[in-house]
A and B are shown apart, each in its own frame.
Chain A
Amino acid sequence: MNSARDDHQNAAGSRRPNRIDRRFAELKQSGRTALIPYITAGDPAPQHTVDFMHACVEAGADVIELGVPFSDPMADGPVIQKACERALAHGTRLVDVLDMVAAFRQRDADTPVVLMGYLNPVERIGYETFARRASEAGVDGFLAVDMPPEEIGENSKLFAEHGLQSIFLLAPTTSSTRAATICDHGQGYLYYVSLKGVTGAATLDADAVGEQLARLRGLTDLPLCVGFGIRDGASAAAVGRVADGVIVGSALVGRIAERASEPETIPAALKAILGEMRAALDETVTA
């Protein structure tokens, strides 16, 4: 997958193999499904985020999607909207999120980190600045919900120069023509949105997802990861049978919200649910 992009010159000029590609290659070899937790940076307060990231890895996370809080998260349901509000109440900015990734990297050099959010914070600090600083911090990929491949333009090249992979969404409503375009532009992995709606909405239909993924396999060799509607071991396992990775967001963020007043209990809660999912996913491998 994207072997041409496996190695890049980063801004500092040093060579850096992309962690996302490497991680998915390892997973493929061992026949395992990627577990990809999403948490919103700065929720419930900025000083906890790095601990939460490590807790996710200890519970078996293969990639971390770190949400950049935004004032107007149009594609998100109430759970992640409120997480953004909690993070913004503490003034969490994109540059702070980059610092969190840098702090995470001091203890974890291997786990890929993808920033996920909306375009305006990047638009405001500038694409060049963002790409350079993200690369320096150890970010591996970027997914802006409101940046389809048609709008990324020259920034795709800019990001690639800094070793930053552009992750794109695919939806059940995506036409075949668009799917081909997206697969063409996609790097790292493709994020398949399992259902129409915002994050944290209804449960998904794993069979329907399986059919859609089969259609996409004809268009790309990129790993296909599925998000939206995965909330426990059972739903993770059901999707894990057809996907290369499962992405879990609102189910985690909801647990963070419940414990916002006692944040010291959150890492254990994250480990519990991710551990359940990890076990359920690994069972499907041996089964």
Chain B
Amino acid sequence: MSRFQDLTQLPDARGHFGPYGGRFVSETLSFALEELENIYASLKDDPDFQAEFDRDLKHYVGRPSPLYHAERWSREIGGAQIWLKREDLNHTGAHKVNNTIGQALLAKKAGKPRVIAETGAGQHGVATATVAARLGLKCEIYMGAEDVERQKLNVYRMHLLGAKVIPVESGSRTLKDAMNEALRDWVTNVDDTFYIIGTVAGPHPYPMLVRDFNAVAGREARSQSLEQIGRLPDALVACVGGGSNAMGLFYPFVEDDDVAMVGVEAGGEGVATGRHAAPLASNAPRGVLHGNRTYLMSDEAGQIADTQSVSAGLDYPGVGPEHALWKDVGRVQYVAADDDEVLAAFRELTRVEGIMPALESAHALAHGKKMAAEMRPDQHIVINLSGRGDKDIHTVAKIDGIEF
């Protein structure tokens, strides 16, 4: 029997994962969250809804995504066998679409004609704009002004998809500020607007439903491992910003005690420098932001800290509440990879396997490589390749001194 079976019974009725999670929102939003909770509760186990979701995942997203044995890279490293869960091959190029398909179906059931979202790297924004285009929903995306600058390609993609991208100039002009602004929009337009949150954070029921929609990746990886490896892998590795791709991969393995799990946060210039986005790996204190209690980077006075990462998608001071609990109970180990290691991993996978990873996913690759080197060739690691790297070409070229 698993030591961790209690973890699959969460959250509780009020959205708590142990001391984390909850619904810390201003009163105007309580109604919308209750409504969302009720809609999801009524559809969660509805076979018609699940069938529609599965159909979209298969025919629109292109699931299942492959579990790819990176044989050449594994050989070069000389340790464990590395398997890549190819979420980069999903329609729109990342895991984010699993969740936006699910939430867009909920928006449709709720009868809301307008959707909004926050985005960091732009992957969630693109995935939201994509499903909005398909369902004919009006779509507005909040994006930190700094991220608009470093993710121009995705900004234009959203524009082509018919979404309006609203640059957010307040605060640090990154993901957390985009989320603040999306919440302000929602509180104003709550009658006709559905807020598609892009990660396993935010007020209840978001952490739960984003987890559930992303868990398809972990369910596939589990059965693919049994089929292709002949057993479960020894370890899973995924990057963690808010933590939705890691949650999606890890969740179906929670009760498999022999499968180690490692979440890799953004080490930025190095956790020791303080310029990073790694609340778990840096042992940040508990705090409350964006509707939930979690580990949160803030100063002594409780002001939210500025974060630093080469990858816009991980540039967030908090982390999903379920990850916070998993850290406490020791189910998952959380570490950080710094920008230099990440860029090296980005280049290495591109050269060795012909797969260009998103800079976010390259965090998992950087740490997965270190783990593999310490393991035996008959051991197996599954790394979540959560997104493709086309969107990051500008960032990497700039580091190389090339301007397009």
Interface residues of A, Cβ cutoff 8 Å to B:
70-77, 81, 88, 93-95, 118-125, 145-148, 150-151, 168-175, 178, 182, 193, 196-198, 201
Chain B residue nearest in CB terms to A76: B184
Once the chains bind, are A171 and B285 in contact (CB under 8 Å)? no
Once the chains bind, are B303 and A71 in contact (CB under 8 Å)? yes
**Chain B 352-381 per-residue mask, 1 if CB under 8 angstroms from chain A, else 0:** 000000000000000000000000000000
**Chain B 165-187 per-residue mask, 1 if CB under 8 angstroms from chain A, else 0:** 00000110000110010011001
Distance of B184 from chain A, by nearest CB (Å): 5
Once the chains bind, are B302 and A122 in contact (CB under 8 Å)? yes
Cβ of B23 within 8 Å of any chain A Cβ, yes or no, is yes
List the B side residues contacting A178 at CB < 8 Å: 30-31, 34
Do A72 and B289 form a contact, CB below 8 Å, given A123-B302, A148-B23? yes
Do A74 and B296 form a contact, CB below 8 Å, given A120-B288, A124-B302? no
Once the chains bind, are A148 and B25 in contact (CB under 8 Å)? yes
Cβ of B396 within 8 Å of any chain A Cβ, yes or no, is no
Distance of B67 from chain A, by nearest CB (Å): 39
Complex Cα spacing A201 to B189, Å: 12
Complex Cα spacing A92 to B191, Å: 36
Once the chains bind, are A196 and B287 in contact (CB under 8 Å)? no
List the B side residues contacting A72 at CB < 8 Å: 171, 176-177, 180, 289, 304
Chain B residue nearest in CB terms to A197: B188
Once the chains bind, are A201 and B188 in contact (CB under 8 Å)? yes
Cβ of B79 within 8 Å of any chain A Cβ, yes or no, is no
Once the chains bind, are A81 and B302 in contact (CB under 8 Å)? no
Complex Cα spacing A93 to B32, Å: 32
Once the chains bind, are B30 and A174 in contact (CB under 8 Å)? yes
Chain A residue nearest in CB terms to B34: A175
Q: Which of B11-69 contact A (CB under 8 A)?
A: 14, 22-32, 34
B26, B286, B304: the one contacting A75 at CB < 8 Å is B26
Once the chains bind, are B301 and A95 in contact (CB under 8 Å)? yes
Once the chains bind, are A174 and B27 in contact (CB under 8 Å)? yes
Do A151 and B171 form a contact, CB below 8 Å, given A120-B288, A123-B302? no
Residue of B14, B180, B191 most packed against chain A (CB within 10 A) = B180
A77, A118, A173: the one contacting B30 at CB < 8 Å is A173
Distance of B142 from chain A, by nearest CB (Å): 12
Once the chains bind, are A151 and B32 in contact (CB under 8 Å)? no
B23, B290, B300, B302: the one contacting A151 at CB < 8 Å is B23
Cβ of B395 within 8 Å of any chain A Cβ, yes or no, is no
Once the chains bind, are B187 and A121 in contact (CB under 8 Å)? no
Residue of B171, B187, B303 most packed against chain A (CB within 10 A) = B303
Once the chains bind, are A125 and B27 in contact (CB under 8 Å)? no
- What 5 pairs between A and B have smallest CB-CB spacing? A124-B302, A121-B302, A93-B301, A173-B31, A169-B27
List the B side residues contacting A124 at CB < 8 Å: 285, 287, 298, 300-302
A94, A147, A171: the one contacting B24 at CB < 8 Å is A147
List the A side residues contacting B184 at CB < 8 Å: 74-77, 198
Do A123 and B28 form a contact, CB below 8 Å, given A151-B23, A196-B191? no
30 contacts across the A-B interface (CB closer than 8 A): A71-B171, A71-B304, A74-B180, A74-B184, A74-B290, A75-B26, A75-B28, A75-B184, A77-B184, A88-B303, A93-B301, A94-B302, A124-B285, A125-B301, A146-B24, A146-B26, A147-B24, A148-B24, A148-B25, A150-B22, A171-B28, A171-B30, A173-B27, A174-B30, A182-B27, A193-B27, A196-B188, A196-B189, A197-B28, A198-B187
Cβ of B190 within 8 Å of any chain A Cβ, yes or no, is yes
Do A119 and B24 form a contact, CB below 8 Å, given A70-B303, A77-B184? yes
Cβ of B78 within 8 Å of any chain A Cβ, yes or no, is no
A120, A169, A182: the one contacting B26 at CB < 8 Å is A169
B31, B191, B304: the one contacting A120 at CB < 8 Å is B304
Distance of B196 from chain A, by nearest CB (Å): 17
List the A side residues contacting B300 at CB < 8 Å: 93, 124
A70, A73, A93, A170: the one contacting B27 at CB < 8 Å is A170
Distance of A176 from chain B, by nearest CB (Å): 11
Cβ of B291 within 8 Å of any chain A Cβ, yes or no, is yes
List the A side residues contacting B171 at CB < 8 Å: 71-72
List the B side residues contacting A193 at CB < 8 Å: 26-28
Once the chains bind, are A198 and B188 in contact (CB under 8 Å)? yes
Once the chains bind, are B190 and A196 in contact (CB under 8 Å)? yes
Distance of B292 from chain A, by nearest CB (Å): 10
Distance of A212 from chain B, by nearest CB (Å): 13
Do A148 and B302 form a contact, CB below 8 Å, given A124-B285, A196-B188, A196-B191? no
Distance of B167 from chain A, by nearest CB (Å): 15
Chain A residue nearest in CB terms to B16: A151
Distance of A30 from chain B, by nearest CB (Å): 30
Distance of B125 from chain A, by nearest CB (Å): 19
List the B side residues contacting A123 at CB < 8 Å: 286-288, 293, 302
Residue of A95, A122, A196 most packed against chain B (CB within 10 A) = A196
Chain B residue nearest in CB terms to A92: B301
**Chain B 295-323 per-residue mask, 1 if CB under 8 angstroms from chain A, else 0:** 01010111110000000000000000000
Distance of A95 from chain B, by nearest CB (Å): 7
List the B side residues contacting A76 at CB < 8 Å: 184
Complex Cα spacing A261 to B162, Å: 43
Once the chains bind, are A151 and B24 in contact (CB under 8 Å)? yes
Complex Cα spacing A193 to B26, Å: 10
Chain A residue nearest in CB terms to B182: A74
Once the chains bind, are A174 and B31 in contact (CB under 8 Å)? yes
Once the chains bind, are B27 and A120 in contact (CB under 8 Å)? no
Complex Cα spacing A75 to B26, Å: 7
Distance of B35 from chain A, by nearest CB (Å): 9
Complex Cα spacing A111 to B400, Å: 62
Residue of B26, B27, B31, B302 most packed against chain A (CB within 10 A) = B27
Distance of B306 from chain A, by nearest CB (Å): 9
Once the chains bind, are A75 and B187 in contact (CB under 8 Å)? yes
Do A173 and B32 form a contact, CB below 8 Å, given A120-B296, A197-B188? yes
List the A side residues contacting B14 at CB < 8 Å: 150
List the B side residues contacting A81 at CB < 8 Å: 170
